[in-house]
Amino acid sequence: MTSALVSSCGERLDRLRRQPPLVQCITNYVAMNYAANVLLAAGASPAMVHAPEEAGEFAGLASAVTINIGTLSSRWLEGMHAAAKAANENGKPWVLDPVAHFATAFRRKAAAELLALKPTVIRGNASEIMALAGDASSGRGVDSGDSVERAEASALLLARQTDAVVAVTGAVDFVTDGQQSARIAGGSEWMPKVTAMGCALTGLVGAFVAIAPTTPWEATVSALACFKVAGTQTASQSAGPGSFAWRFIDVLAALNGDVLQAQAQVTPA
Amino acid sequence: MTSALVSSCGERLDRLRRQPPLVQCITNYVAMNYAANVLLAAGASPAMVHAPEEAGEFAGLASAVTINIGTLSSRWLEGMHAAAKAANENGKPWVLDPVAHFATAFRRKAAAELLALKPTVIRGNASEIMALAGDASSGRGVDSGDSVERAEASALLLARQTDAVVAVTGAVDFVTDGQQSARIAGGSEWMPKVTAMGCALTGLVGAFVAIAPTTPWEATVSALACFKVAGTQTASQSAGPGSFAWRFIDVLAALNGDVLQAQAQVTPA
Amino acid sequence: MTSALVSSCGERLDRLRRQPPLVQCITNYVAMNYAANVLLAAGASPAMVHAPEEAGEFAGLASAVTINIGTLSSRWLEGMHAAAKAANENGKPWVLDPVAHFATAFRRKAAAELLALKPTVIRGNASEIMALAGDASSGRGVDSGDSVERAEASALLLARQTDAVVAVTGAVDFVTDGQQSARIAGGSEWMPKVTAMGCALTGLVGAFVAIAPTTPWEATVSALACFKVAGTQTASQSAGPGSFAWRFIDVLAALNGDVLQAQAQVTPA
């Protein structure tokens, strides 16, 4: 299974480059610029469109939608609802990134409402996924206080509860649709020190799930493998988080399907 | 004509550095940081002020205003109206960047309202300018689906309809005031792969049109030539869009009028 | 006094890295990404949380709050009030950055209201601090039109009026609590050419004042010394503001207490 899966990672990246998907990213103020550059480097066409006045209409045009609650407000939440509903109505996949959803009552309610709108994929750090599955977590602010390993059972539970693919990202990523699961190794210790890295990855998952034919689980594995391979390559050329941030963009822009296939560290779980 | 025009590009950059204009940039969340750094590198003083509570008052203080609808909302549109009106009342030039204005009904209406407030300069990609002139375009999201060449007739038409200078930017830029036209070559294929490049250029046009004595057409040609020369220089030192983005800032900060004059590729059209 | 003070700078940075404070940053759209990366590089855990729906609740969880009015709106001002009040009620320090507060009536009123909520530290450029103390300044937009030296008397006055530590940053920084004062030298001429540098420094002050045991004055001196030392080191490796911006992050991430102590240029004033 794994070799076929890894081979499909490379093919999917090449397909993405040949037919750039239009990805509507509703993300936070911190991440917008970096996420857009990551999507452009991967070959996708990002569009940051979130106002309630147009978010739903635009979702009808987009190939996929991603929703990240990092810098949430009531007005933006309206736009998120409109985009998620329109994605559902138009049969477009959408990805939820429930940033620090456990931190405040406002955020908990927002995450619950978005979850009820049936995301295709949920991507978060370990603390976020554990809390979303109803488990106790050590999360504080936007950084994870738990290991991915500790969150695997929560991810399985959440996937079965929601019918979504659940991706827990960290030192070694874990992705499950409740039936099939995989772990993706690689990356760099600098990645959690670069702000918006996870938010940008959510955007990339959106780009990959927009590429047919695929299952959301395979597409998510591919996006995560692409990110990890680029991270590993970048780490060897970087002197710190500042250089890591921009070299990652160069590396991602130069990555092709063959290299991705050769270097991806995906194992069944 | 051309050699005098090119010589005036260099003089205008030197003048901008000696007397930094205060440029009020109402731009999108993706572009704000990069646009501010581009304006600082060119020698201008950018100020990102957009709230309806103060946008009009601030426009009275600024040397020029730029308005970009990339991440639009109703509230921000109020601020844009206030700033454009105040610019007009105070005899200050203002620049419109109608990002993806054809994508949704909300955006189309916003662009039409702003156009009615008589911008001094309109800068967009080919799809945006074609759609603004009422022509069919292949635009989708924020990236152009058309070549600059195809948009030249639309630009001429739009300039005559609106009395604005119209700049279509892309592989070779085209600038017209309806009477005089020029093409500006140079730049790099990495530029459309760096998000907010075009939005930052809109800010730079604002800085150049603030420098008297000049005509808006000459000032726009100068700003575009400055951007293209910096882009060409940067391309030879960059390994991808990540390194391009920051090296462009270094190159622009080091550019002077003599080099700009020597390297600008401006031809009458 | 100075050598003990300088030695405490280094200890404080090491302590920050061992026990990362959660810093709630309410800052402007231009600065968010860069400020978050600066805080991560220094070892802190930044969280950009500003909506009135949750800003107060989150301040109860955070170790410190920073409030910057760079891109102000009425709605955000509500969030700022909620966060400042919650910080006060929970005995958490908070830092005010009154960006261009003299430029418009809306901004002047906002700054006055926030000042009445008793910030622990006020950090601004010379023009901002002079205007806040009621003196005439040459400020225009967000860039300072005055030297730090000219603002020292205003800083002393403001510190005594408000019981806050007042930091004026520029070529040589000046910090006073109305009784003790210090100057911090170092840095680079590129720093004012990189947008959001000052806003990021405000975030760093928040991280340092969160580290007990300390006085807000000592903590502010430490944060400024840390920034200056990193700036000096970065300048020698940079070719312009573009390279300065990311190398500063690498340098800050690599800085440790011993080096900070050895290189800090702090003198009593």
User: Confidence class of residue B156 from pLDDT cuts 50, 70 and 90?
Assistant: very high
Contact A241 C251 (CB under 8 A): no
Identify the residue whose tokens are 């600082």. Answer: B40
Interval C117-167: pLDDT, tens: 999 999 999 999 999 999 888 887 777 888 999 999 999 999 999 999 999
One pLDDT digit (tens) per residue for chain A, 269 residues = 467 888 889 999 999 999 999 999 999 999 999 999 999 999 999 999 999 999 999 999 999 999 999 999 999 999 999 999 999 999 999 999 999 999 999 999 999 999 999 999 999 999 999 999 998 888 877 778 889 999 999 999 999 999 999 999 999 999 999 999 999 999 999 999 999 999 999 999 999 999 977 799 999 999 999 999 999 999 999 999 999 999 999 999 999 999 999 999 999 99
Tell me chain B's radius of gyration from C-alpha atoms.
17
Q: Which chain C residues are Cβ-neighbours of A143 within 8 angstroms?
A: 45
- Mutant choice from B32, B101, B106, B190 vs A, greatest count of A C-beta within 10 A: B106
pLDDT at C214 over 90: no
pLDDT category, B136, cuts 50, 70, 90? confident
Percent of chain B surpassing pLDDT 90: 91
The candidate with the shortest Cα–Cα distance to A221, out of A203, A209, A234, is A209
At residue C10, the 3 state secondary structure works out as helix
Task: Say if the Cβ atoms of C30 and B36 lie within 8 Å.
Answer: yes
Residues 6+ apart with CB under 8 A from B19: B211
The CA distance from A243 to C246, in Å, is 6
Q: With an 8 Å Cβ cutoff, is C243 touching chain B?
A: yes
Chain B residues 63-122 with CB within 8 Å of chain C: 75
pLDDT of res. A2: 65
pLDDT tier for residue C2 given thresholds of 50, 70 and 90: low
Contact B242 A254 (CB under 8 A): no
Least confident of C31-40, C139-148, C196-205: C139-148
Cβ distance A223 to A201 under 8 Å?
yes
End-to-end CA distance of chain A: 11
Q: Do C240 and B51 touch (CB under 8 A)?
A: no
d(CA C187, CA C144): 17
B57 touches chain C (CB under 8 A): yes
Q: Supply the angle between the helices C32-42 and C2-18 in degrees, to the nearest 10.
A: 100
Between B29, B105, B141, which is nearest A32 by CB?
Answer: B29
Cα–Cα dist A232/A41, whole Å: 16
C64 strand-pairing partners:
C23
pLDDT digits (tens, 9 = 90+) for A101-154: 999 999 999 999 999 999 999 999 999 999 999 988 888 777 788 899 999 999
Q: Yes or no: say if A83 and A56 are a contact pair by the CB < 8 Å rule.
A: yes
CB-side neighbour CA atoms (13 Å) of B151: 34
Query: From C52, which residue of chain A is nearest by alpha-carbon distance?
Result: A73
Q: Which of C45, C48, C53 sits opposite A29 (nearest CB)?
A: C48
The DSSP secondary structure of chain A, one letter per residue, reads: -HHHHHHHHHHHHHHHHHS--EEEEE--TTTHHHHHHHHHHHT-EEE----TTTHHHHHHHSSEEEEE-TT--HHHHHHHHHHHHHHHHTT--EEEE-TTTTSSHHHHHHHHHHHHT--SEEEE-HHHHHHHTT-----BTTB--S-HHHHHHHHHHHHHHHSSEEEE-SSSEEEE-SS-EEEEE---TTGGGSTTHHHHHHHHHHHHHTSSS--HHHHHHHHHHHHHHHHHHHHTT-SSHHHHHHHHHHHHHH--HHHHHHH-EEEE-
Contact by Cβ (8 Å): B222, B13: yes
Q: Kind of pairing, strands B173-176 and B181-185? A: antiparallel
Alpha-carbon distance of C14 to A99, in angstroms, equals 28
Chain B residues near residue C29 by CB distance under 8 angstroms = 29, 32, 48
CA distance B134 to chain C (A): 34
**Positive or negative CA dihedral for B181, B187, B192, B198?**
negative
* Sequence ranges of the domains in chain C: 2-268
Taking CA–CA distances from A246, the nearest residue in chain C reads C246
pLDDT at A8: 85
Q: Does residue C184 carry a pLDDT above 80?
A: yes
Nearest chain B residue to A43 by CA distance is B193
- Name the DSSP class of C101: T
Query: Which residue, A263, C192, C157, is CA-closest to B37?
Result: C192
* Chain-chain contact of A37 with B70 (C-beta, under 8 angstroms): no
Superfamily (CATH H level) for C2-268: Ribokinase (3.40.1190.20)
Would you give the DSSP letter of residue B49?
-
Sort out which chain B residues have CB atoms less than 8 A from A249's CB and list them: 240-242, 245
Are residues A251 and B240, on separate chains, in Cβ contact within 8 Å? yes
The answer, yes or no, to whether residue C51 has pLDDT greater than 60, is yes
Count the neighbouring beta carbons within 10 Å of the beta carbon of residue A117.
16
Residues in C closer than 8 angstroms to A77, CB to CB, are none
Contact (CB<8Å) B33/C34: yes
pLDDT value of position C165: 98
From the list C70, C103, C194, which residue is nearest B61 (CB)?
A: C103
* Average pLDDT, rounded, for chain C: 95
C-alpha span between A180 and A156 (Å, rounded): 10
| Beta-sheet pairing, C64-68 with C22-26 | parallel
Strands of C165-168's sheet in order across: C45-47, C22-26, C64-68, C94-97, C121-124, C165-168, C173-176, C181-185, C265-268
- Residue B33 to residue C33, Cβ atoms within 8 A: yes
pLDDT in tens, B165-219: 999 999 999 999 999 999 999 999 999 999 999 999 999 999 999 997 779 999 9
Strands of B165-168's sheet in order across: B45-47, B22-26, B64-68, B94-97, B121-124, B165-168, B173-176, B181-185, B265-268
Which helix (H) or strand (E) covers residue B182, if one does? strand B181-185
CATH code of domain B2-263: 3.40.1190.20
Residue A46 has a pLDDT of 97
Instruction: Pick the closest to residue C249 from B184, A233, A244 (CA basis).
Output: A244
For residues B180 and B217, the answer to whether their CB atoms sit within 8 Å is yes
Which pLDDT does position B2 carry in this prediction? 66
Q: What is the pLDDT of residues B60-118, one digit of tens each?
A: 999 999 999 999 999 999 999 999 999 999 999 999 999 999 999 999 999 999 999 99
